[in-house]
Amino acid sequence: MQTKIIDGEMIASEIKEDLKKQVEDLKEKGLTPGLAVVLVGDNSASKVYVGNKKKACEYVGIKSFSYELPENTSEDSLLELIDTLNQDEKVHGILVQMPLPRHMDEQKVIKAIAPHKDVDGFHIENAGALLVGAPGFISCTPAGIIELLRRYEVVLEGKKCVVVGRSNIVGKPISLLLLRENATVTICHSKTTNLEEEIKQADVVVVAVGKAKFVKGHMLKEGAVVIDVGMNRDENGKLCGDVDFDSAQGIASLITPVPKGVGPMTIAMLMYNCVLAATH
């Protein structure tokens, strides 16, 4: 079987291009979407992510307001900043880059963000909205995955989807979104006893584990669609996913590469949520 590689970068560019036009129209009407980007501490990976998000804002025409706070910032001062941003009319979306320093309670910080500005979709109100099928912000990585599957015309209805990983930011929300698309969804995690058997039955596999090349080609069903969320370094320090890309060749029908698969879609969907926040 010829394995087709999903071009996440191209789809993300198309989405950003569309958003750019929408933002131009909004600006003509006097509305400039604004995103506050808050970074606490000096985690080098977080700095790269924040930099990429600000660059995407610039491209699309969203005004970004940058807040870089030192590692020893108190939780109270961060909560105060969020409160100010919640009330600032120029700020439509608030993004607090995770992880936060250990002395902060991430859930408490997320909860402080006004749900209508929670463009990451992490607030309990938005997570709950997804659960019950109410409108709300959908977290960016799962939203990006669904968009990729849609644009590659992958039929989900009635298909068996296996999600490996149950985090609040990827595993759980993507499972709910696949369910919403009428797929039959199985969620696997570190205590799953028959992981290989589960994966072998899947028409669509989403892997969000955080372990380099964890899922090998021989575990996949012939023709499976493989979405690799992982961002890891291999033994040579090269960026790689949770799926062993090389051994999946010839077995998977479609696969996302790492990089240039799910990653760029996460940022594109963040931009989408910012425009949505400004217009609703």
Applying CB under 6 A, which residues contact ligand NDP? 141, 164-167, 169-171, 188-192, 195, 208-210, 229-232, 262-263, 266
Q: Which of 197, 199, 193 is nearest to 163 (CA)?
A: 199
Q: Is 107 a catalytic site residue?
A: no
Which of 81/104 has CB closer to ligand NDP?
A: 104
Select which of 7, 16, 53, 221 is catalytic.
Answer: 53
Select which of 7, 16, 54, 97 is catalytic.
Answer: 97
Alpha helices in 29-105 (DSSP H): 44-60, 75-87
Which of 82/145 has CB closer to ligand NDP?
A: 145
Asked whether residue 167 is marked as a ligand-binding residue, the answer is yes
What is the closest distance, in whole angstroms, from the C-beta atom of residue 54 to ligand NDP in the complex? 16
The encoded tokens of residue 171 equal: 């595993």
| Rounded Cα distance, 96 and 150, in Å | 29
Per-state percent for the chain, helix, strand, coil, to nearest 5: 45, 15, 40
Q: Is 53 a catalytic site residue?
A: yes
Which of 181/228 has CB closer to ligand NDP?
A: 228
Which residue number is nearest to ligand NDP in terms of Cβ? 167
Q: Is 55 a catalytic site residue?
A: no
Residue 62: strand, helix, or coil: coil
Which of 195/275 has CB closer to ligand NDP?
A: 195
Asked whether residue 51 is marked as a ligand-binding residue, the answer is no
Enumerate residues 6+ apart whose C-beta is below 8 A from 272.
Answer: 15, 19, 143
Select which of 120, 203, 228, 244 is catalytic.
Answer: 120
Question: Rounded to the nearest 10 degrees, how much is the dihedral formed by the CA atoms of 142, 144, 149, 153?
Answer: 140
- Annotated binding residues for NADP(+): 165-167
Catalytic residue list? 53, 97, 120
